[in-house]
Amino acid sequence: MTESIRAGVIGLGAMGAPMARHLAAAGLLEAIWNRTQARADELAAETGTVVASSPGELARCCNVILTCVSADPDLEQLVEGMQDGLQPGTTMVDTSTVSPATARKMAKRVSQRGVGFVDAPVSGGVEGAMKGTLSVMAGGDSADIERIMPVLESFSATITHMGPVGSGQATKAVNQVIVGGVAEAVCEALALAEKLNLPSQRLLSVLGAGAAGSWFLQHRGQSMLEDRFEKGFKLALLLKDLKIVRSMARELNIPMVGVNSAIRDFEWLVEAGDGNNDISGLIKLKRLPAEKDA
């Protein structure tokens, strides 16, 4: 099965580029494409991979197409651009974070060309993408997921089939509720710790060893206390994800108090120009005097 896979990757950002490298190392990568040509050329030189001239050309030469883009409109635009190149028997794997409704819509669209679709959003951060230890939450037909398993295994530690198309994105929505809530709690806690003049190294050590320990505290605690927010998951992207969650919650008629609070905070930061910072940049807001914290 592995020998028959000719994978293409569209979207070579902080997550997509490392995934493409793992595919190349596994001998599965056939072609790449990115809106920024220079980024694609650089990765092609590094991996010896072909740069497709367009998404349609990539679709013509690959039987597994992995997409990793920022938002729902980006994915819809890509699918539209690939239509003429899609070949029957191809499987499209979307690792972006979009709404379940968009995943189902795209699956229906490509099925008209005889193409399977798997929504496979990931969790684990940029570190997980680089190390090949991501957690994949997949939605789609069992046969499609089985076919692309070598692709998913090349960059992940765990792969879980959650149900039909859209289930992966539904699971990612749940994941992002927790990510946003943990970020709120950890940033508030460390802002408090700074005001209390607690020794940072000992603080992080004792918190991480107990019930307060988390991935976010372990990987972002030290950097946020040092005011380093340049690497990691962008604030603007988590804001986009949480707005997807809010829309889903409204349709289901369930309250999302924590999500709504996080959305207000991240909107404030994006409007302040911090949208490209890691989500740990939230501590900048938590440090403000109470009367200015809105």
Report the catalytic residues.
Answer: 172
Strand intervals (E) in the chain: 7-10, 29-33, 50-51, 64-67, 91-94, 116-119, 122-123, 134-139, 156-163
How many CA atoms does the CB half-sphere of 283 hold within 13 Å?
Answer: 24
**Residues 87, 135, 259, 292, Cα dihedral to 10°:** -110
3-state secondary structure 18-30: HHHHHHHHCCCEE
Q: How many residues comprise the chain?
A: 294
Residue 223 token pair: 């950097």
Cα–Cα distances (Å) from 142 to 3, 128, 146, 262, in that order, read 20, 25, 6, 35
